[in-house]
Structure 1
Amino acid sequence: MRLLIPFLLALLLAACGDPQMPKLVDSRELIVLTREGATTYFKDDNGAPAGFEYDLAHLFADELGIDIRHVVVKHDKDILKQLKKGKAHFGVAWFGPTNDPDLLAGPSYFSSSNVIAQNDAALPIETPDDLDGRLVHVTAGSRQAAALDELRKRFPGIQASEHKRTTDLQLLERISGQRAESALVDRAVLDIASNYYPQLQYSLTVGGEMPISWVFPAKADPELVQKADAFIERIRSDGTLARLVDRYFGHVERLSAADVVRFVERIRVVLPQFKGFFVAAQIETGIDWRLLAALAYQESQWNPLATSPTGVRGMMMLTEETADRLRVSNRLDARQSILGGSQYLSALRDTLPESVKEPDRTWLAMAAYNLGMGHLNAARRIAEGLKQDPDSWYEMKTVLPLLARPEYYLRLKSGRGRGGEAVIMTENIRMYYDILTRHEAPYRPYSSNQAAAMNSSPPR
């Protein structure tokens, strides 16, 4: 018995010192550690989880044929600690390379870098020497916090401030409002934030370009790591990864800082006059009022009297024929124009075949709003001939400009089309919509704030 007790104790200590998730074949679900972030994980207006890496992990779980559970923690450091304890299969938090022997970087699916962000009114930072004596803000436990620590070993005059309860976007909002001077953030996050806060500017890049990947425990099931490698390779080869990248990042660099400043100012000054009409149009069509407002801004800059040389008029720039069909008696009446244009977009979206899923369905309908459904269908046929997916907005973006080339349009009943213009319009609307979702709340029926919005409409 005296010999048995030490033996059992040794076994117990060994088991405690070597934590490990069950092998893939024995797992009932894929457990993934993540944190809130613009590139990683967030909740949409309806409380549903979303995000580039969130969607990517779900695609992987679907391929494995296994359920997935996201465990959301505060910081990158928390994820890495939990992985070492065997609490999850892998971590998803926009990780760069790791030198930790207890961790293993998976296959790369993106690349990014760390950059200093400033307000455009601040003195520029061009070299690390310019940071001497300056305070740089970072989110606590992040890759940027670790990079700043390394930089301070070479330039000890740099001061650091770590924020424990602040996301990257919230930190950049502080920089935009001049409540902080500079921050070290991920470049992809700054690309997104620049459209919400046009006062932000890019300064110094700290370190070089780095691969972004999932992180596994060093003792992860080799089969799981191999399947992750094969999965990333497959979606890279078949275009799935490129389509996902386009969904979250493909439109973020379309607008200039001046465009964003002008748009945000008009959200404040002009939009309140017409918000009630957009909300009423959502009630009629089911389309998010902010998306309808984004479309209207692209069409007319929210000018109800807008008129183009081609004869389209009003807030939603309706043709006379379309207005007659929708029983819009006065295209220069903002209420009529908004409701009519919204009904037209809804009809276009409903016309698309069931094989077209969201969000591609909405973006293709937006293109048809500009082009007409005849031209869009012609472009879809061209796509099929080129072995492209006519249901994918990502692939149709490259096909639609072909409508302006004679070798294509001379064979089409619909004739020449301004497909490139439709792509630009739709991509701009995507960005305007993203900005509006940061500044305006969704419509919630029967809430007091929505009643106020309805009452804010100008008299007819």
Structure 2
Amino acid sequence: MDLGLKNRVARAVRGIVAVAVAAQIISFQGCIGPTFEDDSLDQVMERGKITLLTRDSLHTHYIYRTQHTGFEYDLASAFADHLGVELEVRSVKEEKLFSLLRSGQGDFAAAGIRVTPVRKKLVDFSEPYAQSQMYLVAHKDNRLILSVDDIKGKTVYVRKGSAEEYCLRRLRDGGIHFKIETRRKTVDNLLSMVENKQIELTVTSDRTADLYRRYHPAIQTLFPIGDSMPVAWAVAPGQASLREAINRFLEQAEDNGAMHAVNTRYFGNGTYREYLDLRRFHNRIKSRLPRYQDMIKDVAREKNLDWRLIAAMMYQESHYDPEAVSRTGVKGLMQITRTTALEMGIENRLDPRQSIEAGADYLNKLIGMFPDVPEPERTRLALASYNVGYGHVRDAMALARDLDMNPMVWPTLEKTLPLLRQKKYYSKAKHGYCRGYEPIHYVNNVMAYYDILRRKAVVLRS
């Protein structure tokens, strides 16, 4: 056989074999069913609705005055808007999150979920949007535990099945001998037990520690436990298209500042208040606030405001002292100026009722002067105006535009208000020099106090 014929025969044989192998593969695939095609995102878009699985806690999702709120809810709501679909919220117990997700009873889970090797076997995770470091937590009176070695022989209480438990078990496997007690409790419950000295030790993340110290000022974080862990959203295994849509959204939220704004809204105000100041606030809301609480509620109802916001402002202004007078001559519970008193139509700034009414009316007026700013940022801008003046806040917004920053969010104004102390900026501002740091401290303090007061009315369903 000549060489050319031999090559042609060889090619023909290889072709026949290839066809036969392909036929067998197709036949085999027919036996096991068609290859999987992910249509998870298409299903969401077709339904016009996406279902969030979450758990109720003060740092994820909760109900306040019949409204959904919380870090994870706000971020998930922005994701639904990004897709152009309705958001449905299912609040469930933490231990059921992954089983419900895998069984199709939710589209994605967002609940401050730390990514662990065990969990990666159960679900698919998005790219992380935060890092979380666990810390050992004790009462402030505890001066005996200075390092990891000092927990030998101790008992540490954590939530059952939590990432905190995972970190502790890894620590113990490394040779540190202590006891782990698991409880079906919330982070808030366990921290309250530490504060009340019912238990000695628990663990929580740095992401939530500052937030919860507002409510439990007698606790302290001691030292980190283990390595930091990524925090991410989760989808059922194989739902690649929905996972990719989440990743695109999270990347966009990081780039356009939306992630920073939501973080600041829920965690940024926790710029940790000094222990004695927080203790004093908690004492004052028990000893002084009750004298004015009914009055505040009446006024708030008339003015369509949340009475807890007025109460938070009142503490920041006067510490609930009706005879308070500042060095600049502002007076009363709400520290009303002469000009504001005349504008709001009150005669006696030291009269509690008149002071509360004038303060509420003025706050309402300021809120109405920012119709271009969506809530909740509008209220923060109004609070800044209450403290330093509407004109200065508008100057800070104009400066933000000049610097190509988003003027509609508080984190931006936290950067531009202090710039109005510098001549190169205030010389061009309509209202001139501004004590830019004062409104930042004022707004963040008021929002921290407001958050503490709101906590008492929060509904945790799961």
TM-score, normalised by the number of residues in structure 2: 0.86
Q: Check if 1:204 corresponds to 2:223.
A: yes
Query: Which range moves more in the overlay, 53-62 or 359-368?
Result: 53-62
Name which of 63, 66, 69 aligns with 2:82.
Answer: 63
Is the alpha carbon distance of 1:337 and 1:219 closer, same or farther for their aligned partners in structure 2, counting shifts above 3 Å?
same
The 3-state SS of whatever aligns with 1:251 is helix
Question: C-alpha separation between the residues in 1 aligned to 2:180 and 2:169?
Answer: 8
CA distance in 1, matches of 2:38, 2:67: 28
Q: 1:246 to 1:122 in 2, by over 3 A?
A: same
SS of 2:129's equivalent?
strand
Contact 1:277 1:339 (8 Å CA) reproduced: no
Alignment counterpart, residue 95 of structure 1, candidates 113, 116, 119: 113
Distance across 2 between alignment mates of 1:153 and 1:415: 62
* Shift, 1:125, TM fit: 2.6
In 2: Cα distance, 1:219 partner to 1:52 partner: 27
- 2:162 — aligned with what? 142
Distance 2:325 2:353 in 1: 16
Extract unaligned runs of 5+ from structure 2: 1-28
Q: State the match for 2:403 in structure 1.
A: 386
Deviation sequence 1:321-374 (CA, Å, 0-9, x none)? 11122222111112211111111111111122x221111111101111111222
Matched, 1:333 2:348: no
- The corresponding residue for 1:153 is 173
What residue identity is the alignment partner of 2:399?
A: I
Q: Contact between 2:62 and 2:458, CA under 8 Å: does it hold in 1?
A: no
Q: Deviations over 1:181-228 (max 9, x none)?
A: 1111222222211011110000131112222111233322x2222222
User: Which 5+ residue runs of structure 1 have no aligned equivalent?
Assistant: 1-10, 443-460
Q: Would you say the 8 A contact 2:324–2:331 is kept in 1? A: yes
Corresponding residue for residue 207 of structure 2 = 188
C-alpha distance in 1 between matches for 2:359 and 2:289: 17
Distance of 1:340 and 1:67 partners within structure 2? 40
| Matches of 1:191 and 1:391, distance apart in 2 | 26
Q: Using a 3 Å threshold, how does the CA distance of structure 1 residues 323 and 184 change in structure 2: closer, same or farther? A: same
- Paired AA for residue 58 in structure 1: S
Report the aligned-residue RMSD. Answer: 2.5
User: Does structure 2 retain, via aligned residues, the 8 Å contact 1:124–1:203?
Assistant: no
Q: 1:263 aligns with which of 271, 281, 299?
A: 281
Partner of 1:451: none
The residue that corresponds to 1:456 in the other structure is none
Q: Partner amino acid for 2:269?
A: H
Moved more, 360-369 or 389-398: 389-398
The question of whether the paired residues in 2 share the 8 Å contact of 1:306 and 1:317 is answered with yes
Q: Percent identity?
A: 32
**CA pair 337-32 structure 1, distance change in 2 beyond 3 A:** closer
- Displacement after TM superposition at 1:254 (Å): 4.0
Aligned counterpart, 1:126? 146
Whether contact under 8 Å (2:235, 2:242) holds in the other structure is: no
Residues in 1 aligned to 2:383 and 2:88: alpha-carbon distance in whole angstroms: 35
Write out per-residue CA displacement over residues 371-424 of structure 1, whole angstroms, 9 at most, x where no aligned residue: 122222222222222222222222112111122221222233422222221111
Report SS of the residue matched to 1:108: coil
Local SS of the residue matching 1:92: strand
Instruction: Confirm whether residue 360 of structure 1 aligns to residue 377 of structure 2.
Output: yes
Structure of greater Rg: 2
Residue of structure 2 in register with 1:236 after alignment: 254
Q: Which residue of 1 aligns with 2:443?
A: 426
- Could you tell me how far apart the structure 2 residues matched to 1:380 and 1:212 are? 33
Query: How do 1:176-325 and structure 2 match up within 5 A?
Result: 176-220=195-239, 222-325=240-343
> CA contact under 8 A between 1:168 and 1:189: conserved in structure 2?
no
Show CA shifts across 1:17-48 (max 9, x none). x999853213323233222223222221x232
Shift of 1:123: 4.1
Give distance in 1, aligned partners of 2:38 and 2:446: 45
Judged with a 3 Å threshold, the aligned counterparts in structure 2 of structure 1 residues 22 and 396 are, in CA distance, closer, same or farther, namely same
User: In the alignment, what sits opposite 2:190?
Assistant: 171
Are the aligned partners of 1:135 and 1:159 in contact in 2 as well (CA < 8 Å)? yes
Normalising to structure 1: TM-score of the pair?
A: 0.86
